Each structure stands twice: as structure tokens, then as C-alpha cells.
Structure 1
Amino acid sequence: MVVPPPAGTNNGMQAARPAGSARRVGQGVGPVLEKFTGVERIAVLRGGGLGDLIYTYPALYALKAAYPTATITLLGTPIHAALAAATDGPIDAVELLPFAEGVRDGGSGNTDEDEQAVEDFFASMRARKFDLALQMHGGGRYSNPFLLRLGARHTAGTRTKDARFLERNLDYVYYQNEPDRWLETAGLAGAPTIIPPLLRARDEHRRNTATLRNPDRASLVVVHPGATDPRRRWPASYFTEAVVGIALEGAQVLVVGDRSEKALAQEVAECAAAKLPAEHRDAVRSVAGELEIGELAALLESATVMLASDSGPRHLAQALGTPTVGIFWVGNVFNAGARGRSQHRIHMSWVTECPVCGADVTQVGWTAPHCGHDDTLIRGIAVAAVVQDVLDLTATSLLLQE
């Protein structure tokens, strides 16, 4: 539902437009409203990790198509800046968000907010005189007030019932496909839904990763055993068993992860190699912590299939056109699961209660606090079924390459 602010509401930066003044001119994922006029500078607020940014790419491409002369500045995080610099896409510039509650934390749940850094950030952004600012960062309890302080002429975004109004608003309902959510948000600004092109790795990064490929193996499967939320992680022992099964079928397996996941990736690779016959042991290794984001993109682009829990690298592989096998908790499938099945397979855990205390884990965010337990919710997904999907997609992918 598109919700204009109540007539006469002042959002702190400008008077709100009266209800009904934005005409509906088309249909995309949701209603497409009339475009704003004179838009040359667009700011998009999106914090979080790698996958969080990739969710917004369809919407960013739609905005670029709707406002072709406008520059799009992403207000994001260091990993976002690295990805934007390493690939070609709709983002013209990235400004790093300051540490601020509900927008960007300092790691390990700490906000570490620096009031002066926040004030300096807003002074710099107001000087940019953005014509349009879009909130693509959650329900708006913290992000809407943050967005309004940019001083943009026009604002649009999602909001829960307790969040500040923007000029054009979309009800935030948690269980929704995330790329579709942000396409609806772009529709508030007059951007029709389009099917975006795939991301592409750059030649220099392809050259840097070419030596990782083992030409003696029939295929390359990239495995990512990590996930930001421990509850979304398939057990390392399951990944180990899967890697063994995949390597025995003739695939090269490279295990990836960032520097914080190096020990986990090495555990999976080393345990798998120890279980393999001698002739297959060289087929498995970890490259976690060794690749910059552009090199990771190049490696994923060259992979036959990627196997991962619900994580940023899996989303990146999908954005690059690489087939994926994803292991999900059922609630995350609504938000983050690939919609097609010709290139992507999804395995779902239907667990709805915390395995430790029995708390209802389907309640999220503002409706119920985290129970405090981080035990995996996807332990029940069988290794054999996952391996079979990897092998099926491998066969299909190799056939299409002939």
C-alpha cells in the first residue's frame, strides 16, 4: 500500500505533499507513480552487508532508466564501495555512512556512534543538494529520520507504523522478496520495473583469478560455508561431507569467505581433503581471506555452480549469472531466495521454533526480541539432496557451455 503522509504533516525538512497529489501512471512490481521533476542528484540509503546491497540492484537500475541524466550516490558501507568500484553498474558514487544506531553499527552489535562524525556527514550531504533521497534500509524507525536529515527536495521509502513519514511511503511488511521490495520503492519515485542486466567481473580481476582454476577437473564448484547470522549456517561438517561428494564426481572445489571466515573455510577444506582418496585431494582448497571483492566476483563468474547458505557471496553469484544451490531457513526464502529454478535450487528448513528454548523464530524485529540463542535452524537439510542438486546443475551448466 502506498501511503502519503497525513495532510499538513511536517517531516522536519519540508511540508508534506497532500494525499493523492502523486498520480499513479503505471504498474511494475507495485504501482508506479509520477516521476519527480528536475531530478539530477539521487541519494539511496542502504547499509548492511554484501547481499543487502545486491538486493537493491534491480531498483537502482530502474532508477537509472527512469532518470538517465541523474547521478546515483549510494550511502553505504565499505563492502558496498568495494563492489561498486570492482564492477560496472548503476551506482555513480558511494559515500560511507557514519556509525549511527539502526543505520550502521560498529560491529559485534556496537553502534560506536561518533556524534561529530554524524554531524559532519550530514553537513557534507546537505551541501550536495540532493533532489531525491530514497530509503532502502529496513522499516524506517531509524533510517527515515536519518534520510530526512539529508535535506533532499523529495523523499520516498518504506516505513513501519511507528516510523517517520517520508513524502511517499510504502508499508514495510517483513516477509517479502527483498529485490521486489526495493523495486516497489523505486516505483514510488516513478521508476517502472525492468529486468536488470547481470553484473560483470572486470578483466583485471579475471586475470588475477585465472590461475586458481584446475584444468584437469571437469567443473568448478565454489563453496561458501559462512553467513552473518549463525542461525543461517549449515553445519561445517555437512559442508565437508558435501565437498567430498562433489569432488569425488570430478569437480574442483574452492572454499571462499572473508578474513573473519578463514578458519571455518580451512576447516571445511582440510577435513574434506582428509576424507578424499589421494587422487582427489588436490581438487579441494580454501581461498578464504585471499580474494578482494572484485576477484571474488571473477571467481564466482567462472564457477560452474556455487553452493552456499543464505549469504552475500551466494547473492553475488546469482547477480553474476552463476547457478547456485542455496540452503535456507524457510523465512529467509521469502526475503532472499532466488525465484527461478532453471539455474537456482533452494533447500528449506521448516523449523519455526528455537531448538534451544522453543521461542517462535518467525517473529522478527519489532514484534519479538531475539531469544538469545544462535543455534543453526537449518541442520535438518540432508547432504545427499544438496549434492544431487549441485551435480544436476553442473550437468546442465556444462551442457549449455558446449
Structure 2
Amino acid sequence: MPLFDQAPNSICFLRLSAIGDVCHATAAIQAVQRHWPSTKITWIVGKVEAQLLQGLENVELIVFDKKQGLSGMISIWRLLKGRRFDALVHMQLALRASLITLGIKATYKIGFNFKRAKEGQWLFTNRKISDTESAHVLDSFYSFIEYMGVPRSVPQWNLPISDADHLFAKEALGDKPTLVISPAASKDERNWLSERYAAIGDYAFECGYQVAICGSPAEREKKLALDIIDHMRHPALNFVGMTTLKQLTAILNKAAVVLAPDSGPAHIATTQGTPVIGLYGHSNPKRTGPYNNLNDVVSVYEKLVTQQHGKSANNLPWSTRVKGEHVMKEIPVSAVIYAFDRIAKGNHHV
């Protein structure tokens, strides 16, 4: 039996980070809005992630700045003082997020199943979803809304990107088909090699594409972009550190194809309906791959996780990672060219 047999008055979602997971949560929240348009939605979200979501239709965003620690939590509790939600949907396993729930009043506090809850999350919830089988994070987020009574639907996204942001992308990219390379993951060891990104960039250029490189203003990302361009025989546009998150989303929207490791931009591109070639070694692409392009992922995860743990991915905990600085070197250029050709010729499967 679902938790609600009619639309609840109010639901508070708690998912602070990271950008990819926030994209997955957006699909679930917008599915709730389509099914229960009268339900008031509040979302407690991280500061950086809020830059992408600002203006999300009919969603009250409450921003948590993790740098503020306890004082940031207290400010959220003050903001919500005197309010009670029909449900608090607690989609984050980190203890920091669980502590925030202590000051939020809700009839039901819904968390992960015991099998998947980490850092004591089950201590902070009074309802647990039954799902322990969903491979992909997005599907596990959908299990929360199904538990409440929202039927399963194909994920759809409507991110608030302005006409000005779309114009920025149009002026930046023109009308040429573009391969956008977003080369940086959250840690350097999860990046592919500069010369291999460059080889794909040159290959795409010779196939009639222009190449654009995107990323944040972090020095390591700027350095990586320059290193890729240095290795290329053909020119590439460099937008690293030069876009807001919404402008980046507009560029990813206009791209013909995106090449990225497991990172926020890969999932932002998915929200825009743009094909993504995901490069995976450290994390399981069945869990965190670009949702609409799981068949186009180039992955060495399955091989390496079996080598490191002596068991296949199916027989290991949901979030098992492969460790080591050598991992991404295992991904050959030829496999990425093969994926690129399939997408360019329209033979990939969504």
C-alpha cells in the first residue's frame, strides 16, 4: 500500500549534493509535481547545486551551505520553525544531511532501506523504502516517490534555463555540430588522459565537428583543458571557468554529443536530452552512468572490480568503487571512437 492515497499537502525533499545526484532528484520531484500538482514542494539543497536549480518551477529551495556547519543547520531550522510536512524524503546518506533532519518536523521521515542506508541514516527515519534492487541512483530515487504513491514514469526534466543563457550558448557555439568535452571528474585520478581526450577531439574535428571544452574555474580544470588543447592538432574552444552552471547547461543542451567521466556535466547533459559518452573506471556505470546513454558508456569498471575484489560487480555492495591511479588508463581511444561513431550515426540506443 502506498503511503498516501491522495495528494499530500506538503513534502520536503532533502538532497544536498552532488550535481549529478541533484539532477536525478529533479526528475523524481518533477514526477511528483505532475502526479500531485497541488502538493507544495520544499527542497533543501547545497549551495553550488542551488545555482543550477534557482527558479525551479513551484519548488521552494532552501539552501544549505556546508561550510557553515552547525550554524547553517540552525538557520534552516529557524526558517522552517512552526512548519510541519506530511513527509520528509531523506535521499542523502551522509551524516551531515541526517543531522539536518533533527530540526525538521514531518509526519513521515522516509529513508533508504537498511541494506543501503549508511552512516546510521536509518536512525533518523521512521519509514524505509523496500527497494534494494535498483541499480541506478535515479531509479532508487524514484523508489521514494513510488513508496509515497506516485506511479513509475519515464524521467523528464525541466531545468530553469533562461533565454539569455540559451543565447549565450548559441553565440558561443554557432550552428556547427559540437562535441563538448567536459574532462574533469571530482578527483584527478578519475579523469581520462589529456592526450586521449585530444585524440578524440581531433577525430571529431576530422568528422566535421567543432570541439568545445567545458569545466569549472578550479585551477586543476583550467590546467587540464590547456593540456588537452596542447595535445590537439586541431583548434578547440575553451570555456573552462567562463560559464555559470546555467550557461554550461545551455551549452550542453546545444551540443551534438558530450564526452565526460563520471561527473555533474554528464548528468546535466542527460537532463537536456544530449547524448553522452560516459568514461567509467572507478564507479559502476549501472549505478551512476548517464541515465539515457547507459549503452554508450565506455567502462573498465566491471573488469577491474572483479580483479580487485575477486567477485563480479553483481555480488558486491551497491557502491563498491575501484581504487588506484592507473584505472582510467585502461580505457582505450579505440573504444571511445567506436561509441562516438555509433552516436554520430544515430545507432545508439536510448
TM-score interval (norm. to shorter): 0.7 to 0.9
Among residues 128, 146, 165, which one is paired with 2:83 in the alignment?
A: 128
Q: Does 1:383 align with 2:343?
A: no
Q: Does 1:179 align with 2:134?
A: no
Instruction: Output the CA distance in 2 between the equivalents of 1:339 and 1:316.
Output: 11
Cα distance change of structure 1 residues 300 and 38 upon mapping to structure 2, 3 Å threshold: closer
> TM-score when scaled to structure 1?
0.74
Matching of residues 307-326 of structure 1 within 5 Å: 307-326=259-278
Q: Does 1:193 align with 2:152?
A: yes
Matching of residues 44-123 of structure 1 within 5 Å: 44-85=13-54, 92-99=59-66, 106=67, 113=69, 115-123=70-78
Matching of residues 321-340 of structure 1 within 5 Å: 321-329=273-281, 331-338=283-290, 340=292
Cα distance change of structure 1 residues 325 and 49 upon mapping to structure 2, 3 Å threshold: same
How much does 1:132 deviate?
1.8
* Counterpart contact for 2:30–2:157, Cα < 8 Å: no
Q: Secondary structure at the match of 1:208?
A: helix
Cα distance change of structure 1 residues 264 and 171 upon mapping to structure 2, 3 Å threshold: farther
* Counterpart contact for 2:194–2:231, Cα < 8 Å: no
Instruction: Output the CA distance in 1 between the equivalents of 2:202 and 2:144.
Output: 43
Among residues 230, 235, 245, which one is paired with 1:293 in the alignment?
A: 245
Q: Which amino acid aligns with 1:386?
A: V
Instruction: Output the CA distance in 1 between the equivalents of 2:3 and 2:74.
Output: 33
Structure of higher CA gyration radius: 1
Instruction: Output the CA distance in 2 between the equivalents of 1:257 and 1:117.
Output: 28
Q: Which amino acid aligns with 2:77?
A: F
Instruction: Output the CA distance in 2 between the equivalents of 1:344 and 1:328.
Output: 12
Cα distance change of structure 1 residues 45 and 160 upon mapping to structure 2, 3 Å threshold: same
Q: Secondary structure at the match of 2:89?
A: strand
Instruction: Output the CA distance in 2 between the equivalents of 1:56 and 1:295.
Output: 21
Q: Secondary structure at the match of 1:152?
A: strand
Alpha-carbon displacement from aligned partner over 1:129-159 (angstroms, at most 9, x marks no partner) = 3232101113x65544532431122221214
Q: Does 1:149 align with 2:107?
A: no
Q: Which amino acid aligns with 2:8?
A: V
Instruction: Output the CA distance in 1 between the equivalents of 2:39 and 2:341.
Output: 44
* Counterpart contact for 1:155–1:166, Cα < 8 Å: yes
Q: Which amino acid aligns with 1:377?
A: V
Among residues 211, 234, 240, which one is paired with 1:253 in the alignment?
A: 211
Alpha-carbon displacement from aligned partner over 1:66-107 (angstroms, at most 9, x marks no partner) = 331122121111232111126x55x612111242xxxxxx4x
Cα distance change of structure 1 residues 225 and 38 upon mapping to structure 2, 3 Å threshold: closer
Q: Which amino acid aligns with 1:317?
A: A
* Counterpart contact for 2:45–2:63, Cα < 8 Å: yes
How much does 1:267 deviate?
1.8
* Counterpart contact for 1:242–1:384, Cα < 8 Å: no
Q: Secondary structure at the match of 2:237?
A: strand
Flag the structure with higher helix content: 2
> TM-score when scaled to structure 2?
0.84
Cα distance change of structure 1 residues 292 and 204 upon mapping to structure 2, 3 Å threshold: same
Q: Secondary structure at the match of 1:378?
A: helix
How much does 1:54 deviate?
0.8
How many positions carry a matched residue from both structures? 335
How much does 1:124 deviate?
1.9
Range moving further from structure 2, 286-295 or 71-80: 71-80
Among residues 276, 296, 300, which one is paired with 1:345 in the alignment?
A: 296
How much does 1:348 deviate?
0.8
Instruction: Output the CA distance in 2 between the equivalents of 1:148 and 1:187.
Output: 24
Range moving further from structure 2, 230-239 or 301-310: 230-239
Q: Give the corresponding residue for 1:29.
A: none
Structure 1, unmatched stretches of 5+, are 1-23, 25-32, 100-105, 107-111, 398-402
Q: Which amino acid aligns with 2:37?
A: P
Cα distance change of structure 1 residues 354 and 193 upon mapping to structure 2, 3 Å threshold: closer
Structure 2, unmatched stretches of 5+, are none
How much does 1:249 deviate?
1.9
Instruction: Output the CA distance in 2 between the equivalents of 1:65 and 1:52.
Output: 20
Q: Secondary structure at the match of 1:290?
A: coil
Instruction: Output the CA distance in 2 between the equivalents of 1:198 and 1:58.
Output: 5
Instruction: Output the CA distance in 1 between the equivalents of 2:152 and 2:140.
Output: 11
